[in-house]
Amino acid sequence: MTSRSSHGHGSSSSSGRTRVGKYELGRTLGEGNFAKVKFAKHVETGDNVAIKILDKEKVLKHKMIGQIKREISTMKLIRHPNVIRMHEVMASKTKIYIVLEFVTGGELFDKIARNGRLKEDEARKYFQQLICAVDYCHSRGVFHRDLKPENLLLDASGLLKVSDFGLSALPQQVREDGLLHTTCGTPNYVAPEVIHNKGYDGAIADLWSCGVILFVLMAGYLPFEENNLMALYKKIFKAEFSCPPWFSSNAKKLIKRILDPNPATRITIAEVIENEWFKKGYKPPRFEQANVSLDDINSIFSESMDSQNLVVERRTEGPVAPVTMNAFELISTSQGLNLSSLFEKQMGLVKRETRFTSKCSANEIISKIEEAAGPLGFDVKKNNCKLKIQGEKTGRKGHLSVNTEIFEVAPSLYMVELRKSDGDTLEFHKFYKNLATGLKDIVWKAEPIDEEKYGSSASK
């Protein structure tokens, strides 16, 4: 599941609002196959939250109810300073809503994008927080299974928060052999035994991903990087990588022990915590175990699903107009606007969204997008100032699907955000490049896309 969990930007809209229980839903922060994450505001307290919305039908189809109930119950009990907090769970007739802490500091990897690799002491500080969070969740029987840059967020004070714990790879079961059997996660970060698909221990596999993350923090690039998937897998199976010369010898030794392709001889988290390099300056976090009630979870998963426990998604209608953004929201959006080209090239992290601004009206923008997308073989569905652009042909990873939303950022200045929701990221970039050519008359300023890889993006 590729959700960017609880970070991003809020939204206040003049064009009708959607309420779920005590929350007013704002813009979409991320989406994956099973879930969508939206910004939301608690109507009475004004607190910001992120709400993960799961489709009940998909959950039932994959026979995941029992597992989701277990995962959510455990997650709600987890109160750790380095793990995104789950506040409550609600359900409507068709959806499950998981209310999560909202984190404003962006992704940890945005730091590398802006400033290059981290110094060893700073990388160690984040790695200590990551290991501490992962170890705590493992002790509660929850495995992440998809640790990667998008799931490492920072709060306003720079504290690391792991998101999507226990919710990242839902369609999985532990089989009779006590092992997990679903290959999931982002290939560059995934342990060899997960790719082998012969069953794996969630805790040992999570540690491998932590090792890759530590390498990236200190090097500024990935240990295993190949354009061809089979070549990438070969490197991972053999743990074929070398540490750059600026790594200290103790850091090199530790990384080599974590990135051991044999899970039976790989170092354990308990041994990592005792490691000399890891222990330098380590202060385990102090936190209290709060009294947490699971009543909301039990009620939404009860056999009868009493209608009194169900919430209703209510929309209050207003005139059709783009969502307006305030200055804070715009700043928090633009945090990640300009990833340096070094990051794009060396990290192999291709962005899944892009933006441009226009001084044309929302209606003109919509009709121009329709005009430009048609000849490229894309179908456009409209819903107020939101568009779903769907590829007619099947690509490398199914049909490319792009969600587009128009925001008013100042009187008669609009920002258009295009976000890939399905399909291949490289195909998304190619599509955007072609679309941008057809939109050049209306584009005021475009977010740059890595010129060497994708050619220049349209800007005026």
Residues with a catalytic annotation lie at 146
Structure tokens, 357 = 């601004």
CA 344 to the chain's CA centroid: 17
The alpha-helical segments, DSSP class H, found in 362-422 are 362-373
CA-to-CA dists, residue 340 to 9, 105, 114, 115, 148, angstroms: 22, 18, 7, 9, 19
| Residue 323 · residue 12 · CB < 8 Å | yes
Quote the CA–CA distance of 403 and 367 in Å, as a whole number. Answer: 15
52 is known to lie in a ligand binding site: yes
CA-to-CA dists, residue 6 to 103, 135, 237, 315, angstroms: 6, 21, 33, 23
Beta strands in 56-196 (DSSP E): 86-91, 95-101, 152-154, 160-162
Structure tokens, 261 = 């392709």
Q: Closest Cα to residue 104, out of 155, 58, 57, 64?
A: 155
Which residue carries 């959607």 as its tokens? Answer: 18
Residue 152: how many other CB atoms lie within 10 Å: 21
What are the backbone angles phi and psi of residue 248, rounded to the nearest 5°?
-70, 160
Taking each helix axis from N to C end, the angle separating 249-258 and 202-219, rounded to the nearest 10 degrees, works out to: 150
Q: Closest Cα to residue 119, out of 223, 220, 23, 261?
A: 220
Q: Give the three-state DSSP class for 91.
A: strand
Structure tokens, 141 = 């029987």
Measured at the CA of 192, the angle between CA 189 and CA 194, to 5 degrees, comes to 85
**Beta-carbon contacts of residue 388 (< 8 Å; ≥ 6 apart):** 380, 381, 401, 402, 403, 404, 421
* H-run or E-run covering 378: strand 378-383
* H-run or E-run covering 128: helix 120-139
Quote the CA–CA distance of 223 and 244 in Å, as a whole number. Answer: 10
Q: Give the three-state DSSP class for 225.
A: coil
CA 189 to the chain's CA centroid: 14
> What residue numbers does the annotated binding site for ATP cover?
52
Binding site: residue ranges?
52
